[in-house]
Structure 1
Amino acid sequence: MSLVLVPSLFVLSLTFAQSPENASANKKEAIDYSLTVDSNRRGPAIDNTMYGVFFEDINRAADGGLYAELIQNRSFEYDPVDNPAYKPLTAWTETATGGASGTARVMNDDGRLNEKNRRYLQLDLDGSKDKKERFGVTNAGYNSGIAVEAGKKYDFTVWARTDQSSGTPLTVELHDVSDSRDALAAPLQITVRGDRWTKYSGTFTARTTSTTGRLSVTAGGRGTVRLDMVSLFPRDTFKGRTNGMRKDLAQKIAALNPGFLRFPGGCLVNTGSHEAYEAPDWERQRSYQWKDTIGPVEERATNANFWGYNQSYGLGYYEYFQFAEDIGAMPLPVVPALVNGCGENRTTDDPELLQRHIQDTLDLIEFANGPVTSTWGKKRAEMGHPEPFGLSHIAVGNEETLPDEFFKRFTQFREAIEAEYPEITVISNSGPDDSGPVFDRAWELNREADVDMVDEHYYNSPAWFLENNDRYDSYDRQGPKVFLGEYASQDNRFFNALAEAAFMTGLERNADIVKMASYAPLLANVDDVQWRPDMIWFDNSQSWGSTSYEVQKLFMNHVGDEVVPSKASSIPVPTEPITGAIGLSTWATSAAYDDVKVISADGDTLFSDDFSNGARQWTHATEHGSWKIQDGAYVQSDTSAENTMVTAGDPDWQNYDLRVKATKQSGSEGFLIAFGVKDTGNYYWWNLGGWGNTRSAVEKAVDGGKQTMIENETQIETDREYDIRIEVRGRQVTLFLDGRKWGSFTDDQVAEPFRQVVTRDKATGELIVKVVNAQEAPARTRIDLGEVDVAPTARLITLQGDPDAVNTADSQPIKPRRSVINSIDQTFTHTFPAHSVTFMRIKPNTSKKP
């Protein structure tokens, strides 16, 4: 939904049918707050690129998603290297009519379409001249099938060749999944002629609407016919682009009014081999390299996607640039720095290869901005866009966990780009987390080198976002700017969106430091999810925005041009001691535990277990793992199981020492010692040897979402017994490993539920008062606008709902609602509903005579 602003003040609310729980929450006694706005002062300017979107081909976001192609595995390139379950005919089945017979084989030989499109389908036909006898294949599309809409046109193309001098007749049918082959459109009749690859095409007009369609291509007669690049494309793509975007998904992205589009990843960028495409090694996973993705679509490579499926490059760099232009966003490509991340954690020490990638990056800038007389500008023009795309920013690398190795290579990229294109802003990064040794070292290097901008990424619990509204208040105003390229609260409930909204008020307040921000991931196919949360969900025929989408859309369409200084009161939250039981767990590891003791601060023994009498004191918190007493210890032996937690003790324990002896027996990680355990979603655990045994950290889980409290690079050895002690005193935790202090932290940050920021829209003169009330009580707020003359009526924008509400395909309880309030003055009182985000647009009073 697009909001049209008119001269007045308004509120837009996301509402839902009240649940009993929410009705009860709204009966909570209101809490009094104050909000003071210094309307005569100016805060930081807010760039047009403050908020944008980040697209990565995760969760089937491209093929079967934003890329509008309806045929899955259209060029028969699926392979076990993509996914162990894949084969070249995945999504295809043999089919025959009239008693026809034949064989369908995927070939990889000199008869291929071209060097990068290596596989093709060969149909060996045993039929006769009877036109009813046809043999071929049927494609199942994505999700439940091929989705078509009555009256809409769908363009079919195929590359084919035949060994029959008289030609081979093809029948192409668009039909339902049912055995009766209910026709969804009149069939196409095509005659393939000649034994050279030729492109054939036709158009279907759908007779009826279906979400379970199939496409069958069958051949009559005898001999051999070869097929490749079997494609079915809706004519009605976004902006009518050939080889374009699925309209409903693109429209939802465009409705966000994004200031930039970051692409193509993510972990796609800095994983896999950095080598150029070379046969016969084409079947291995390669890093995403932009030159593989341009030119005629049938000449582009496919690749093993990092997220466990095959990715075509039908949606390539040209299409990304075009899409950014179509939605009015600044393009922001990310290129590999030859230091792998996302768990691969290795460097490529090949100077020649590094120089090739640096040159590829320079060529990319020329492709985007160069004149048509340049080598790569000419290629852009040949693809249909002679005008430059106006590239101004480029990011090098993504979430590298080897900061020194990364920065050495980043520096070479940066120097080469700035030498040839000084107008381009080169963006560095700070690794995959919001804090820790990698983050600290990366920022140290970035500051020392006076880097223009640093890309930060983090995914944390809602509590973390509520606690860290002031994260950027203390950043060095003279240092690099921040690009918050990936962030999200760890779920898709409305409470997650509220926490994100509260955090975003801090981003805007620090708009002089945080220059760009994008929630991630952007898209998720409900049948192929590798990561959650996500902003926009879809299947083969419909899409819907999550509660976070509604928050992002609200902020992105009502940013303002400058911050107006303001201050709100806060309600002190009591700081209770850390309380809870204890737990033991593993993650993809077998480990043995023994001699578990809990000693109070006064020296009393609260709990002791040497497992000589079994494990009767322990309760399985999850269904994962295989626990048993073995050789006098409590052993978890399943190295494939994740989070195998068992718990013991009293949830009211506080101020105690937890002691345990632990031994890793086998597997990829170490062990997990839990304390402060409330339930399966709320606890602390010391994760020793986590993340593939690359680092160790204490994580805090709140309603299932985790945040890191402290970490270092400790690794765990196999078959070595470790002596572990965790000292809990109030909110202070001190950790000891083999008698030596490992680290300590104080969990004393307040998850303040009432957050606000005020901005000004220069075009309308409006003050935009943005308030988040992420608690179960209404917030009765006295608002003082200072010395400003305002119109008496305001329009509001509010997101309000049950904190556990989730938008789904069948129900979107979080929906916008507009309302109007009166009696606005320099000072007035407004009650912000429980669990709500409210934007109040306050117009200057222009009715008074001078």
Structure 2
Amino acid sequence: MSRSTTRTATGTRWRLGLTATALLTATALLPAPAHAEDATDYTITVDPAARGAAIDDTMYGVFFEDINRAADGGLYAELVQNRSFEYSTADNRTYTPLTSWTVDGTAQVLNDTGRLNERNRAYLSLGAGSSVTNAGYNTGVRVEQGKKYDFSVWARAENGTTLTVGLQDADGTLATARTVAAKGGWAKYRATFTATRTSSDGRLTVASSAAAALDMVSLFPRDTYKHQSNGLRKDLAEKVAALKPGFLRFPGGCLVNTGSMQDYSEASGWQRARAYQWKDTIGPVEERATNANFWGYNQSYGLGYYEYFRFAEDVGAMPLPVVPALVTGCGQNRAVDDDALLQRHIQDTLDLIEFANGPVTSTWGRKRARMGHPEPFHLTHLGVGNEENLPVEFMARFKQFRTAIEAEYPDITVVSNSGPDDSGSTFDTAWQLNRDENVAMVDEHYYNSPQWFLQNNDRYDSYDRGGPKVFLGEYASQGNAFRNGLAEAAYMTGLERNADVVKLASYAPMFANEDYVQWSPDMVWFNNHASWNSANYEVQKLFMTNVGDRVVPSTATSTPAVSGPVSGAVGLSTWATSAAYDDVKVTGADGNTLLSDDFSGDASRWTHTGGGSWSVQDGQYVQTDEAAENTMVSAGDPAWHDYDLHVKATKRSGKEGFLVAFGVKDTGNYYWWNLGGWNNTQSAVEQAVDGGKSTLLAKAGGVETGRAYDIDIKVRGRQVTLYLAGQEWGRFTDDKPAEPFRQVVTADRKTGDLIVKVVNAQSVDARTAVDLGGAKVSTRAHVTTLTAAPDAVNSETATPVAPVTSTFTGVADRFTYTFPANSVTFLRIKQK
């Protein structure tokens, strides 16, 4: 998943996770346009005789990435954490091989020639009469009364050794203990428990009567999704199945193209972070090498490529794997220059296709069959790369992948991408290269504010109908409140209207364990005993289960919007950097000085609205905390407009550059020029609206440490011009309205329904005249409505955002319907 310029203050996804809670609660919808309360009457006009874009069955799908403990401790049903004692500081600096385990007696983790196998490098040496206890995930091991749980362990012990296995919590036993007689070399032993009580705080204990070696200590619920072995947690998998996804993209975004691209055997030391390589993840689970996860924990690969393909099949989705292109992303930005390694990865990709589609007589088809699936998985699409920020280097490697794949598998659609952002120099370069190379499909990713989604419903209206198709592989509006779902729903009407260009789309990311969050928002939240749908999930489900086959062209009146000038105070900030500021001057358009501060005295005119450590030093205002993120200080009047801002800024040390803000209303509403963001690789102007950010202008390039930069920003009306060292850097006009009333109409060939989909993302009802253009229809419509307060958030204990179904009996060729405030409404109308 995914790393756009609008995911955080400085735009990279891996940093956004650090401020996820704030975004979850603070992101807000743009206030209703001025005079919106007077503009509650709308008209929707449908032209049933016109032929709109066909909508593929695979239009909407899901994206899975192992982030927020989405796999281990999540979708993967294993209840034991660190089951093979492989955790290490390579995964997380707080980890040890005994993380999540407690020892009673003597035990040590060894890594020697006595190991279970070459890839399962660590094992536990347990002393006679000693025991180890596992704490599971969240609050413990979850068991439910009357349900069965399958235990297994690989052990090496002298003859006559007894392993005693128990389940208990603070209140006592949870199941009758089981004993296993272990003897001889490494062997797998099994036992079954039936829980006598329900508990979310269980512990699994293994005790040994004599010295023994243990590895792969496992406990699985018998009742996995579709009763698959090495299977999936049922409630989470069922939530995915309920969406009826057209495709499943896996195994992730940043997981794909970060870390070492080398073979496992080339890794130095006990563990080394490696890019996700599919061959590591198949075969017997005890032979799959664990790996450091990009998001700061260990991944067991128990949920591997075979399980992903099987899951896609089980939910009726097209599998869409993504492989690394040897250009790293997600802040790493490195092109691997090793032709032999590149050719190996290309061959691995060809082998992957054979694994998915090859006959049982082929090398990799035989491996698939031995895992239990002789039939092919019908792979048709494959992504190469993910959000590379080096488009030229990426395309050079992508072409080699595509050439090799098309030579052997001409029916496979090879998907490229356009980098980590919705716009900017990387995006423009990547798209031009994709067009030049006649790429079939381009994967776009972006995470923006609700306002951006309301402003950009027409994004794909102007895309070249004859150019590469779009796979919108990752998008979200930076929050899980209903206002976010409303903005995304409004945007999705534009995706459907442009279904001839946007062929695939998936919200991201999908899962988050509430106790292990690196990134937010997320579609489904869970802990070890419950799961719940976000407002965003409910929006996605409504669209995904009511797609239709073809767009029926329609138009609607718009909401008048009145926009005043860009106004607000000015600000200074840093992000993971120490910087110094001087000679701040704000001059009105009439030439009057509004603010002048050379910091020859104190900084009393500046108000701290962020963190960091600010002080006046040698006539400069200096922020010295390199770990602090968004250290905003502001000065001036929020009513200021039409002014010139001058600042002298110097980066002293750290990862990034500096940020100069204007139009500052409060802590969540402002613009800033982010110079040297994204690990000092690019600069951009970002707009924050109630905490959610969007990029308005972006260019590649960073700043030099120790160099003093003259920065000038000219604000006139809605137009802003930016100057760096006296030269114009860029300009933009922020005058695009955020339209809260959007619609699309589709036809469902199977049912004969017209589906009128309307989003009213404002705080007043929308009384609407609907003209069906002479279509002969039933008088009765089936209605599904999502409506709630804009700040409503679903949780484990409350679901204020949930669909309500009803019947409307006033349908005619022309009829009036009032769409509630803050609502998404689908009318399914039978055509005669």
Q: CA deviation at 1:720?
A: 1.3
Counterpart selection for 1:832 from 819, 822, 827? 819
Q: CA deviation at 1:750?
A: 0.8
**Match in the other structure for 1:16:** none
**Match in the other structure for 2:52:** 43
Counterpart selection for 2:427 from 413, 417, 439? 439
Contact 1:366 1:376 in 2 (8 A): yes
Q: CA deviation at 1:280?
A: 5.8
Pairwise mapping of residues 352-751 of structure 1 onto structure 2 (< 5 A)?
352-622=340-610, 624-751=611-738
**Match in the other structure for 1:155:** 150
Matched residue SS, 2:146: coil
**Match in the other structure for 1:174:** 167
Contact 2:39 2:559 in 1 (8 A): no
CA offset digits 1:575-627 (Å, max 9, x no partner): 210011111100011111111111000101111111223011111112x1000
**Superposition RMSD in Å:** 1.2
Contact 1:211 1:540 in 2 (8 A): yes
**Match in the other structure for 2:310:** 322
Q: CA deviation at 1:325?
A: 0.2
**Match in the other structure for 1:207:** 196
**Match in the other structure for 1:309:** 297
CA offset digits 1:66-86 (Å, max 9, x no partner): 000000000000000000000
Contact 1:793 1:824 in 2 (8 A): yes
Note closer, same or farther for the CA distance 1:615–1:280 as it changes in structure 2 (3 Å cut): closer
Counterpart selection for 1:80 from 82, 86, 89? 89
**Match in the other structure for 2:179:** 189
Q: CA deviation at 1:714?
A: 2.9
CA offset digits 1:203-250 (Å, max 9, x no partner): 000001000000000112x4x200000000000000000000000000
Matched residue SS, 1:80: coil
Structure 2 alignment gaps of length 5 or more: 1-30
Which amino acid is 1:103 matched to? T
Q: CA deviation at 1:279?
A: 6.1
CA offset digits 1:94-115 (Å, max 9, x no partner): 12xxxxxx41100000000000
Which amino acid is 1:283 matched to? Q
Contact 1:29 1:777 in 2 (8 A): no
Alignment TM-score, normalising by the size of structure 1: 0.93
The 1-side partners of 2:719 and 2:135 are apart by 57
Which amino acid is 2:121 matched to? R
Contact 1:450 1:479 in 2 (8 A): yes
**Match in the other structure for 1:260:** 247
Which amino acid is 2:116 matched to? L
Q: CA deviation at 1:571?
A: 1.7
Contact 1:562 1:760 in 2 (8 A): yes
The 2-side partners of 1:554 and 1:491 are apart by 18
Matched residue SS, 1:183: strand
**Match in the other structure for 2:124:** 121
The 2-side partners of 1:592 and 1:369 are apart by 59
**Match in the other structure for 2:133:** 138
The 1-side partners of 2:59 and 2:227 are apart by 29
CA offset digits 1:437-495 (Å, max 9, x no partner): 11101110110111100000000000000000000000001100000000000111110
Contact 2:426 2:700 in 1 (8 A): no
Deviation beyond 6 Å, 4+ runs, structure 1 = none
Pairwise mapping of residues 60-99 of structure 1 onto structure 2 (< 5 A)?
60-95=69-104
Contact 1:396 1:426 in 2 (8 A): yes
Q: CA deviation at 1:124?
A: 2.2
Contact 2:87 2:97 in 1 (8 A): yes
CA offset digits 1:781-800 (Å, max 9, x no partner): 10000111111111111110
**Match in the other structure for 1:130:** none
Contact 1:337 1:397 in 2 (8 A): yes
CA offset digits 1:319-344 (Å, max 9, x no partner): 00000000000000000000000111
Pairwise mapping of residues 102-121 of structure 1 onto structure 2 (< 5 A)?
102-121=105-124
Matched residue SS, 2:818: strand
The 2-side partners of 1:508 and 1:344 are apart by 35
Q: CA deviation at 1:764?
A: 1.2
Matched residue SS, 2:106: strand
Contact 2:682 2:700 in 1 (8 A): yes
Contact 1:341 1:399 in 2 (8 A): yes
CA offset digits 1:266-298 (Å, max 9, x no partner): 100000111111166251101100011001111
The 2-side partners of 1:773 and 1:823 are apart by 20
Q: CA deviation at 1:826?
A: 0.3
Matched residue SS, 2:459: coil
Contact 2:659 2:675 in 1 (8 A): yes
The 1-side partners of 2:460 and 2:178 are apart by 60
Contact 1:30 1:777 in 2 (8 A): no
The 2-side partners of 1:230 and 1:352 are apart by 38
Contact 2:39 2:560 in 1 (8 A): no
Structure 1 alignment gaps of length 5 or more: 1-21, 96-101, 126-133, 846-850
Q: CA deviation at 1:572?
A: 2.0
The 2-side partners of 1:788 and 1:752 are apart by 28
Pairwise mapping of residues 780-795 of structure 1 onto structure 2 (< 5 A)?
780-795=767-782
CA offset digits 1:504-550 (Å, max 9, x no partner): 00000000000000000000000111111100000001000100000
Contact 1:683 1:700 in 2 (8 A): yes
Which amino acid is 2:124 matched to? L
Note closer, same or farther for the CA distance 1:597–1:279 as it changes in structure 2 (3 Å cut): closer
**Match in the other structure for 1:57:** 66
Say how many residue pairs are matched: 798
The 2-side partners of 1:571 and 1:142 are apart by 49
The 2-side partners of 1:385 and 1:733 are apart by 59
The 2-side partners of 1:348 and 1:577 are apart by 47
Matched residue SS, 1:519: coil
Contact 2:127 2:208 in 1 (8 A): no
The 2-side partners of 1:822 and 1:393 are apart by 44
The 2-side partners of 1:398 and 1:468 are apart by 23
The 2-side partners of 1:776 and 1:635 are apart by 43
Alignment TM-score, normalising by the size of structure 2: 0.95
Matched residue SS, 2:348: helix
Matched residue SS, 1:691: helix
Matched residue SS, 2:506: strand
CA offset digits 1:324-379 (Å, max 9, x no partner): 00000000000000000011100111111100000000000000000000000000
The 2-side partners of 1:35 and 1:319 are apart by 46
